[in-house]
Amino acid sequence: MGVPRVVVIGGGFGGLEVCRRLVRANKRGAIELTLVDKENFFQFNPLLPEVATGAVETRHIVYPLRSFCIPRKIRFFRNKVRAVDPVAKVLTLHNDLTLPYDHLVIAADANTRRELLTFVVVGGGITGVEVCSQLMTLFRTTMKRLYPNVPQTLVTVHLIEATERILPGIKENHAEVALGHLRGLGVNLALSRKVVEVTQATVRLDDGAVIPAHTLVWTTGVRGTQLETPWPWPTGRGGRLKVDRTGRVTDGVWALGDIAEMFESDGKLVPQVAQGAIQEGRLVAENLLATLAGTPVRDLKYVDLGYFVGLGKHSTVASLMGIPVAGWLAWYLWALMYMFKVVGLRKQLEVATDMLKTFFVEHDTSQVHERRRILRSQDLEPDLSGQKGQLRLSGPTPVTTATATAVDAPPGDRGGAREGGCDVGSGAGALRPLVRGFPTPATPPGRGGQTSSLITQIGCT
């Protein structure tokens, strides 16, 4: 029998942790380690709210996967898995490439606009609260000075949460601090409410309320990555692969992170956050090596290390191993931890520089992407003469937003209910924004068939 071939799908927190733990075995030839990801970079998702509002540079939270793999002698394929043959133990990739495996580790991530100044953020978890805080801080400081002709009363941020309180799962006193902070910033809170419909210009709630808005930031719930053919193993809620407490799906197949439904000994679902994926990654790597050596595997004992909730402008509430921290000290610890968690020394230094800059300079509001689509006459001359806080546009609604950019939709794709987060096709402009169970906004006629509405989903890891 040859060297066992270990293939890891997904270069996120969990996938990289598995690779780190298997590096020694890979270098000494005990296994042949391969990483497959549809992107060529690792993205540090916890800093996405800061990226969305210009506090941290986008390129500073991404790290080339090849730079991670080459010095560790890990084979890397930038490709997307289309199907799995569990009998032949072969993956089918795009371009009809095949990749055989002996052990498969599935660590794929979850498939994570604006009526000018109206934002609807769905989900009152950590990401939702951070996005609201960052947006309001941005508009009350930097944008207020740069756009003095735009009344601040027109800036509206709505936070929709299905439960009775925001930040479920963290200390109640910290949730109250965050709630008071959001109210002080002017965020409109809708608790015990669910979004039931999204159109091109409105968001409708289950109580019948309709919010005129073109920007929906979806921060609640993740759905497991789906292949062109269904996974050949049992799946649970949200399309996640069912695994036991060792991380095993079946013999020779392992799963972790957002794609895995793993339960603790008390029956609770392992939180689908970065620290959960990292602990699962360590577990799967250890158990994979134990399986190869013929020794017993162990069950996951999830350790909750705590949490950080960024409230903007150097304010944070946190719990570290059960110890509550708040204010500036919590922000310093938050910045320090995230800086060291970013992959690569260069990226750590760049993120540290970005964070230090916030003490002395304002957020960067430059928009350097999709310039051809953004700079249209109707985008540059919007009609702001709305009444009662509502905005009217002189032409099609601009496609620019702090959190994402609309791109062309393929001809013939003009709506319909879809499942998942963002449907990514091939070729330029193939990204189509989708929200689970909601209709895709129709694409109005216009140059290049550009979308005039954008639903944005931010991953929660």
Number of structural domains, the chain? 2
* Residue 378: inside a domain: no
Least confident of 82-91, 183-192, 250-259, 389-398: 389-398
CA distance 352 to 338: 9
CA distance 455 to 249: 33
pLDDT at 49 over 80: no
Tell me which range, 294-298, 316-320, 365-369, is most confidently predicted by mean pLDDT.
294-298
Check residue 374 and give its pLDDT.
40
Check residue 362 and give its pLDDT.
67
- What's the rounded mean pLDDT across residues 67-91? 89
Inter-helix orientation angle 345-357/328-341, to 10°:
150
Check residue 213 and give its pLDDT.
85
* Residue 388: inside a domain: no
Check residue 110 and give its pLDDT.
55
Least confident of 34-48, 119-133, 353-367: 353-367
Q: Are residues 283 and 216 in the same domain?
A: no
Check residue 298 and give its pLDDT.
94
Residue 266 banded pLDDT, cuts 50, 70, 90 = confident
pLDDT at 327 over 90: no
* Residue 29: inside a domain: yes
pLDDT at 25 over 80: yes
List of residues 6+ apart from 418 with CB closer than 8 A: 434, 436, 440
Check residue 273 and give its pLDDT.
81
Higher pLDDT, 349 or 411: 349
What value does the CA radius of gyration of the chain take, rounded to a whole number of Å?
A: 23
Check residue 365 and give its pLDDT.
57
pLDDT at 174 over 60: yes
Least confident of 188-197, 256-265, 338-347, 437-446: 437-446
Structure tokens given for 337:
């931890």
Least confident of 1-10, 67-76, 298-307, 394-403: 394-403
Tell me, what CATH number does 226's domain have? 3.50.50.60
Contact 109, 225 (CB under 8 A): yes
Check residue 21 and give its pLDDT.
92
Amino acid at 221: G
Tell me, what CATH number does 176's domain have? 3.50.50.100
> Looking at the chain, how many residues does it have?
461
Check residue 64 and give its pLDDT.
84
Q: Are residues 212 and 311 in the same domain?
A: yes
Q: Are residues 245 and 258 in the same domain?
A: yes
Check residue 387 and give its pLDDT.
45
Check residue 96 and give its pLDDT.
81
Which of 264, 293, 322 corresponds to the end of one domain?
Answer: 293
Check residue 442 and give its pLDDT.
40
Contact 194, 211 (CB under 8 A): no
Range of the domain at 229: 5-38+79-111+222-293
Structure tokens given for 335:
């910045």
